[in-house]
Amino acid sequence: MADSDFPGSRLEAPLTNPVSVSWQSPSNIAFVKYWGKTGRQLPVNPSLSMTLSKAFTETRLTSLPRETEGTADLDFWFEGKQNSAFGERMKRFLQSITDIFPWLEQVSLKLETHNTFPHSAGIASSASSFSALALCLCSLDTELCGILLDETEFRIKASFIARLGSGSACRSLFPGLTVWGYTKSLTGSSDLFAVPVTEVHPLFKTLRDTILIVNSEEKAVSSSEGHSRMVNHPFAEARIRQAGKNTTDLLEAFKTGDKDSFIRIVENEALTLHALMMTSDNGFMLMYPETVRIISRIKELRRETGLDICFTLDAGPNVHLIYFEEQSEQVAKLIVEDIFKNIKQNTRIDDFCGSGPVKLS
């Protein structure tokens, strides 16, 4: 599959009235990390994530009449205010996909969006933002040009489009567990879009994620910059092999209900991600001392209590505490009575395995 598999259409006549669509799309947390890319936003290794439920972006995209054609025109509003910085990123993205949506040059767009979670809180806001925008674009394609797709085709196309804006966003288009990147262990997997994992033991459908906020400030090195530092990384080849094996092993664990393998792989991936950052050219560190204290305490608590808890990290200092619904009461008690006693902040966001995007209008 390539861009040409999504032939674009132009408007047959100038738009005379506004047309709006609205989607809600969640973020996701990767268990096998996407780190390093090539070509037009293609991954160098497969990644595997869990779609979240409560952490989502709501986006309304309105197409407006335009007197003259030209480059994609966007009026961007975030949380009720114009945001020129992120708006410019969105505008560049729209300009880059006019080969797929030629009508973007025939209309003006107003994009209104807000999140249910704070920016830079350890949840990938670009994943939810670009997946919601991709869904709106595909819906407008139907409304304006009559492009009709079945549900599966629609989600695949939206995943393909979301990937071009933010790689991790392509995994937010599906419920539960999702893989992006080709792996021989999952039929239909692709570097071009994500696919859902369908063989999942009931146990893993109850996963929960409590994000422990260590620091909510903007991180010092962006994910885009971090990805670029994987080029010529001394451990790149070994990392690609590791991610492939971890994806295969984790898919098997999801199928059989193997908690121990799940915990081992998820924590290994989190530490590998940050090790790659530290060992890249002009290496950098996004973990804080309190990040290290929390993950050390989680490992100790697992030994002391026998609870099936583990941690993962995004590209930042905040810790995702992963556990199962059947142990949620005990874990909640540990967070309050133990973990929060050892860190300066006591902010958390509680989430769980979600059911994917929802069309609002």
pLDDT digit string (tens) for 164-208? Answer: 999 999 999 999 999 999 999 999 999 999 999 999 999 999 999
Per the CB < 8 A criterion, the answer to whether 270 and 194 are in contact is no
| Final residue of a structural domain among 198, 227, 251 | 198
Q: Are residues 15 and 142 in the same domain?
A: yes
Q: Are residues 69 and 208 in the same domain?
A: no
Decide if 104 is inside a domain.
yes
Q: Within the chain, how many helices (H) and strands (E) appear?
A: 8, 14
Q: Are residues 167 and 122 in the same domain?
A: yes
Q: Are residues 219 and 180 in the same domain?
A: no
| Final residue of a structural domain among 183, 198, 213 | 198
- Euclidean distance between the first and the last CA atom of the chain, given in angstroms as a whole number: 30
Decide if 361 is inside a domain.
no
The secondary structure of 165-179 as a DSSP string is H-GGGGGGGSSSEEE
Q: Are residues 161 and 132 in the same domain?
A: yes
What is the DSSP pairing of strand 347-352 with strand 207-213?
Answer: antiparallel
Count of beta carbons in the 10 Å neighbourhood of residue 18: 12
- Spatial distance between the Cα atoms of 127 and 168, rounded to a whole number of angstroms: 5
Residues 6+ away with beta carbon under 8 Å from 336: none
- By C-alpha distance, which of 92, 90, 161 is closest to 131? 161
Angle value at C-alpha 208, between 206 and 213, nearest 5 degrees:
175
Q: Are residues 7 and 39 in the same domain?
A: yes
Overall domain count for the chain? 2
Domain extent, residue 177, equals 3-198
- Spatial distance between the Cα atoms of 242 and 230, rounded to a whole number of angstroms: 15
Radius of gyration of the chain (CA): 21
Decide if 359 is inside a domain.
no
Q: Are residues 78 and 124 in the same domain?
A: yes
Q: Are residues 126 and 208 in the same domain?
A: no
> 205: which DSSP letter?
G
Half-sphere exposure of 161 (CA within 13 A, CB side): 32
Q: Are residues 253 and 128 in the same domain?
A: no
Decide if 257 is inside a domain.
yes
Decide if 315 is inside a domain.
yes
Q: What is the edge-to-edge ordering of all strands in the sheet holding 319-324?
A: 310-313, 319-324, 207-213, 347-352
Per the CB < 8 A criterion, the answer to whether 22 and 58 are in contact is yes
Helix H segments across 10-150? 84-96, 125-145
The pLDDT score that the predictor gives to residue 4 is 52
- By C-alpha distance, which of 27, 35, 49 is closest to 121? 27
Per the CB < 8 A criterion, the answer to whether 131 and 170 are in contact is yes
Q: Which amino acid is at 321?
A: L
Q: Report which secondary-structure segment, H or E, holds 38.
A: strand 37-38
Per the CB < 8 A criterion, the answer to whether 342 and 297 are in contact is yes
| Final residue of a structural domain among 138, 166, 198 | 198
333 class by beta-carbon count within 10 Å (0-12 exposed, 13-18 middle, 19+ buried): exposed
pLDDT 10s digit of each residue in the chain, 361 long? 555 567 678 998 999 999 999 999 999 999 999 999 999 999 999 999 999 999 999 999 999 999 889 888 899 999 889 887 778 889 999 999 999 999 999 999 999 999 998 765 557 788 999 999 999 999 999 999 988 899 999 999 999 999 999 999 999 999 999 999 999 999 999 999 999 999 999 999 999 999 998 887 777 788 888 888 899 999 999 999 999 999 999 999 999 999 999 999 999 999 999 999 999 998 999 999 999 999 999 999 999 999 999 999 999 999 999 999 999 999 999 999 998 876 666 788 999 999 999 999 9
- Spatial distance between the Cα atoms of 119 and 309, rounded to a whole number of angstroms: 26
Count of beta carbons in the 10 Å neighbourhood of residue 114: 13
Tokens standing for residue 253:
């664990």
The pLDDT score that the predictor gives to residue 120 is 58
The pLDDT score that the predictor gives to residue 202 is 97
Tokens standing for residue 168:
């991790």
The pLDDT score that the predictor gives to residue 226 is 85
The secondary structure of 319-361 as a DSSP string is EEEEEEGGGHHHHHHHHHHTGGGGSS--EEEEEEB----EE--
pLDDT tens sequence across 281-339: 989 999 999 999 999 999 999 999 999 999 999 999 999 999 999 999 999 999 999 98
The pLDDT score that the predictor gives to residue 345 is 67
CA 118 to chain centre: 15
- By C-alpha distance, which of 177, 61, 118, 19 is closest to 348? 118
Q: Report which secondary-structure segment, H or E, holds 277.
A: helix 259-278
Q: What is the pTM of this model?
A: 0.94
Tokens standing for residue 326:
């059947």
Q: Are residues 38 and 175 in the same domain?
A: yes
